[in-house]
Amino acid sequence: MVHIKILLGGLHQEINSFAPGNTTIEHYRRKQYHMGADMLSFAAQYHRCNEGTDLLGGAYSVLAEAGAEIVSGGFMSAQPGSIIEQCVLDDYIAQLKEAVKANLPLDGVVLVMHGAAQSVESDDPEGDIIVAVRELVGEDVPITVGLDLHANVTERMIKIANTISLYQRYPHVDVWETGVRAAKLCLGILSGEIKPAMAYVQVPMIIPASSYTTEIEPFKSLMKMGHDYVAAGKLLDFSVSQMQPWLDVKDGYSSVVAIGEDREEAAAIAKEMAAAFYGMRHEFKTELTSVDEIIRIAEKNHSGKPVILNDFADSSNAGSAGDSPEAIERVLALASDVKGLMYINDSAFVAACQKAGVGSTVKAEIGAEYSKKLFSPVAVEATVRALFDGVVSFHGNFVDFGPSAVVKIRNMIVVVTTQHRYNGDPTLYRAFGYEPADFQMVVVKANTSFRAFYGPLTDLIYPAATKGSSTSNLESLPFEKVPKSFYPFSDNDFTPTVNAFGK
Ligand SMILES: [Zn+2]
């Protein structure tokens, strides 16, 4: 076969503009920071686990199987969080440019990113990255991109990339497959098999991530429409972006991307899907239950299935800090003996537990370590059950929760960590020695994503009316850049037009 050389890499992080502090290089180093040859060995050994890194794994597997020479553009990923320090983005782009220059001429580029990043100086870091690569590789080298369904796909990204493919499922159980799609599109262009035309339509709305999934209506039908067009041979690929709703950027939109071989047909389909998408806006709603009511329901729960107190407003995958003590505060206020299981991120509390030692009682404040404007810490009396280094195996990959303590507060087992990580998977509690099914109530700080993992365990799921940086009440947040003409701030008519075509 013909020798082809493809650069693979990307910066992957989802930003919450309202989360406290800034994301620093340390946040990446504690999660995924793989530059140079290290990225290639990491990608080759990586196991699928439905996290963003699966984009890299999926793309790598396709390129490797095709016998391509894969060169590293470096890959870095941090837990969703606050706005990225500018030097972190600048350093990544500088390293990526060096990698491109050292490997010219390249046949193709595959970039795997989240799509909802924001740095101190840039509202479109992924656009900055694609532009930097395009300037070096020239106009004729295909650049294909894999992103999250919650990406902010910008007009600039569309105009300089050849294809952009987003996850098509939420909960995100097709992250690996999205990496596969992006890599296959690149190989298809290189072999001459396909000549993609990409049409992009912006949709003026942002919707809380807790209020929909692609697995049920109305979103299910919209995705089926796209899949039917692919099956009928009218499209090669399609994406629907529900822009990360806690991202306050200029040029931020939800959107539809349709990729076909016929530009006009792709444009017509993108417009049709965008109109249908906007038409569903009133159906994307989160039904909330108060924390007190959920605790009362859980106290009476002897079903053998846990009640999920879904504190999505403090979701680790929506950039919140995971330090809301609201569930603990209410359990104490109600003097409830509910048998509960909970996760919270608080390094000072872990330090107090380490100092006291296993078996001892700690009297200290818990919570609000970072989100001081949102919450107040809660004074608790906790028994230290166990201390851990916090490195746990998540589906074969190591995830670092940092030094951690397991404590008992009233009848609640609370896992306290020093690094906020994805907690929407029962694997977390199992790693610390507790089975969620043994509890009356489990607190999960995640949006819809957790339903893929908790769904087999329970159907007693209650999105809670909690406070947090990732609240579903978008009108309560201090948006400055997203236009007030967007739904839900306004509710206007909308006529879709093609805002841009891809390369
Ligand atoms: Zn997402």
Tens of pLDDT, residue by residue over 142-174, are: 999 999 999 999 999 999 999 999 999 999 999
- Whether residue 5 has pLDDT greater than 90: yes
Q: How far apart are CA 32 and CA 42, in angstroms?
A: 10
| Both tokens assigned to 223 | 């995705």
Nearest to 371 by CA among 310, 444, 314, 309: 314
> Using one digit for the tens of pLDDT, what is the confidence trace for 100-114?
999 999 999 999 999
> Using one digit for the tens of pLDDT, what is the confidence trace for 177-211?
999 999 999 999 999 999 999 999 999 999 999 99
* CB within 8 Å of 468: residues ≥ 6 apart: 311, 312, 313, 314, 315, 320, 324, 371, 374
Residue type, 4: I
How far is the centre of ligand 1, averaged over its atoms, from the C-alpha of 99 (Å)? Answer: 28
Residue 89 parent element (H or E): helix 86-102
Percent share of the chain, pLDDT over 90: 93
> Using one digit for the tens of pLDDT, what is the confidence trace for 26-72?
999 999 999 999 999 999 999 998 889 999 999 999 999 999 999 99
Q: What is the mean predicted confidence (pLDDT) over 426-439?
A: 95
397: confidence class by pLDDT, cuts 50, 70, 90: confident
Provide the 8-state DSSP code for 4.
-
Q: Which CATH architecture has domain 5-284+497-501?
A: 3-Layer(aba) Sandwich (3.40)
* Residue 316 confidence (pLDDT): 84
How far is the centre of ligand 1, averaged over its atoms, from the C-alpha of 201 (Å)? Answer: 19
How far is the centre of ligand 1, averaged over its atoms, from the C-alpha of 175 (Å)? Answer: 10
How far is the centre of ligand 1, averaged over its atoms, from the C-alpha of 313 (Å)? Answer: 15
* CB within 8 Å of 469: residues ≥ 6 apart: 16, 18, 19, 20, 246, 313, 314, 318, 319, 320, 321, 371, 374
How far is the centre of ligand 1, averaged over its atoms, from the C-alpha of 385 (Å)? Answer: 34
Q: How far apart are CA 309 and CA 233, in angstroms?
A: 44
Q: What are the CA-CA distances from residue 135 to residues 97, 122, 161, 429 (Å)?
A: 10, 18, 12, 47
Strand ordering across the sheet containing 237-241: 237-241, 254-260, 197-203, 500-501
How far is the centre of ligand 1, averaged over its atoms, from the C-alpha of 172 (Å)? Answer: 7
How far is the centre of ligand 1, averaged over its atoms, from the C-alpha of 451 (Å)? Answer: 13
How far is the centre of ligand 1, averaged over its atoms, from the C-alpha of 241 (Å)? Answer: 9
How far is the centre of ligand 1, averaged over its atoms, from the C-alpha of 166 (Å)? Answer: 9
How far is the centre of ligand 1, averaged over its atoms, from the C-alpha of 477 (Å)? Answer: 20
> Using one digit for the tens of pLDDT, what is the confidence trace for 205-220?
999 999 999 999 999 9
How far is the centre of ligand 1, averaged over its atoms, from the C-alpha of 150 (Å)? Answer: 4
Q: Could you tell me where the beta strands, DSSP code E, fall in 318-473?
A: 340-345, 361-366, 378-388, 391-394, 397-400, 404-409, 412-417, 441-444, 461-463
Domain boundaries in the chain?
A: 5-284+497-501, 291-464
- Whether residue 131 has pLDDT greater than 90: yes
1: confidence class by pLDDT, cuts 50, 70, 90: low
- The residue among 395 and 456 whose pLDDT is bigger is 456
How far is the centre of ligand 1, averaged over its atoms, from the C-alpha of 64 (Å)? Answer: 26
* Residue 49 confidence (pLDDT): 87
How far is the centre of ligand 1, averaged over its atoms, from the C-alpha of 212 (Å)? Answer: 12
* Residue 50 confidence (pLDDT): 84
Q: What is the mean predicted confidence (pLDDT) over 377-394?
A: 95
Indicate the pairing of strand 340-345 with strand 412-417: parallel
42, 144 in Cβ contact below 8 A? no
How far is the centre of ligand 1, averaged over its atoms, from the C-alpha of 148 (Å)? Answer: 5
